[in-house]
C-alpha cells in the first residue's frame, strides 16, 4: 500500500465516523513554546488546554511535523524520523479510550476492500503505559488480545508529551510483527 493510500484510507475512515477532516497546519507554529509543529495534536493545543473553544467535537488530520527531540534515534530505527506526516484522530470531549482503541483496531485490521489497512490481527502487538490498567482491559475486550501481546512500558515509551508545557499523558501504540528475519525492531 502506498503512503497516499494510507493517508486517504485514514481520513475517509474517520470522516465516515463523524470526524471533520482538518487540513495540515503550517510547520512554523504560533505556539511560543515551539518553533515547528512536532506532533499532530499541536494545532489543537488551544482546545485541549481550554484557551479556545473547539470548532468540532471530532477531528481528523494528517499533519506535517518536524521533530528534533529524539533526533539521535533517526536512522537507528524504523520508528523515528525528523520530518514526517502524523495521522491523528481527536475528540474534544466526545469520546475517550474505549472508542479510540476500537477505531484503531478496526482501521488496522479491516480488509482493504472494506477501507481498512488489512493487517493480520495475529501479528499486532500493543503497548500501554505501565499504570494504565484500563487500556489493557479495553485492548483485551475490543481486540481479544492476550496479555502477552499487551506490553506495559514506562514513561520513556508510553507517556506522550510535546516536549514542552502542554497536554500530555499515557498513550497506547500498535506494533506490527514483521517476523524475525527483519530483526527486533
CATH code for the domain of 43: 3.30.930.10
Question: Which pLDDT value is given to residue 100?
Answer: 96
- Among 95, 119, 139, which residue terminates a domain? 95
State pTM to two decimals: 0.88
Do 115 and 73 reside in the same domain of the chain? no
122 and 102 share one domain: yes
| Residue where a domain terminates, one of 95, 114, 136 | 95
Q: What average pLDDT does the structure give for the chain?
A: 90
Together in a domain, 183 and 110: yes
What is the model's pLDDT at position 68? 74
- Tell whether 84 and 118 lie within a shared domain: no
**113-138: per-residue pLDDT in tens?**
999 999 999 999 999 999 999 999 99
Q: Write down the pLDDT at residue 71.
A: 67
7 plus 58 within the same structural domain = yes
Q: How far apart are CA 90 and CA 107, in angstroms?
A: 15
CB neighbours of residue 101 within 10 Å:
20
Q: Do residue 120 and residue 184 come from a single domain? A: yes
Query: Does 74 share its domain with 111?
Result: no
pLDDT value of position 152: 96
Determine the Cα–Cα distance for residues 135 and 102; give it in Å rounded to an integer: 11
Which pLDDT band, with edges at 50, 70 and 90, does 184 fall under?
low
Q: Is the dihedral of CA 136, 142, 143, 147 positive or negative?
A: positive
Residue 102 pLDDT > 90 = yes
Q: Do residues 8 and 26 both lie within one domain? A: yes
Q: What is the pLDDT of residues 50-94, one digit of tens each?
A: 999 999 999 999 999 887 766 676 677 666 667 888 999 999 999
Whether residues 105 and 68 fall in one domain = no
Q: Do 72 and 104 share a domain, yes or no?
A: no
Same domain as 7, residue 64 = yes
**Which residue has better confidence, 4 or 68?**
4
CB–CB of 114/106 below 8 Å? no
Measured CA distances, 164 to 37, 40, 45, 68 (Å):
12, 15, 12, 13
* Domain with 128 in it: 98-185
Total domain count, the chain: 2
The pLDDT assigned to 164 comes to 75
Please name every residue paired with 36 in a beta bridge, in sequence order, or none if there are none.
28
Instruction: Give the pLDDT of residue 142.
Output: 96
What per-residue confidence (pLDDT) applies to 80? 62
Same domain, 34 and 15: yes
Of the listed ranges 16-30, 39-53, 102-116, 169-183, the least confidently predicted one is 169-183
Q: Tell which of 56, 76, 95 closes a domain.
A: 95
Amino acid at each position: 500500500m502506498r503512503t497516499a493510500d494510507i493517508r486517504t484510507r485514514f481520513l475517509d475512515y474517520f470522516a465516515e465516523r463523524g470526524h471533520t477532516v482538518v487540513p495540515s497546519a503550517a510547520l512554523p507554529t504560533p505556539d511560543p513554546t515551539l518553533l515547528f509543529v512536532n506532533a499532530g495534536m499541536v494545532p489543537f493545543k488551544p482546545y485541549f488546554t481550554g484557551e479556545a473553544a473547539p470548532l468540532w467535537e471530532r477531528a481528523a488530520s494528517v499533519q506535517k511535523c518536524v521533530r528534533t527531540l529524539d533526533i539521535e534515534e533517526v536512522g537507528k530505527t524504523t520508528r523515528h524520523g525528523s520530518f514526517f506526516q502524523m495521522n491523528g484522530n481527536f475528540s474534544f470531549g466526545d469520546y475517550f479510550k474505549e472508542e479510540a482503541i476500537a477505531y484503531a483496531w478496526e482501521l488496522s485490521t479491516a480488509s482493504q476492500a472494506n477501507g481498512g489497512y488489512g493487517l493480520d490481527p495475529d501479528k499486532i502487538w500493543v503497548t500501554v503505559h505501565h499504570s494504565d490498567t484500563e487500556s489493557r482491559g479495553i485492548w483485551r475486550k475490543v481486540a481479544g488480545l492476550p496479555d502477552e501481546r499487551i506490553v506495559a512500558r514506562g514513561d520513556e515509551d508510553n507517556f506522550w508529551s510535546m516536549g514542552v508545557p502542554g497536554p500530555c499523558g499515557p498513550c497506547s501504540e500498535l506494533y506490527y510483527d514483521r517476523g524475525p528475519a527483519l530483526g527486533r525492531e
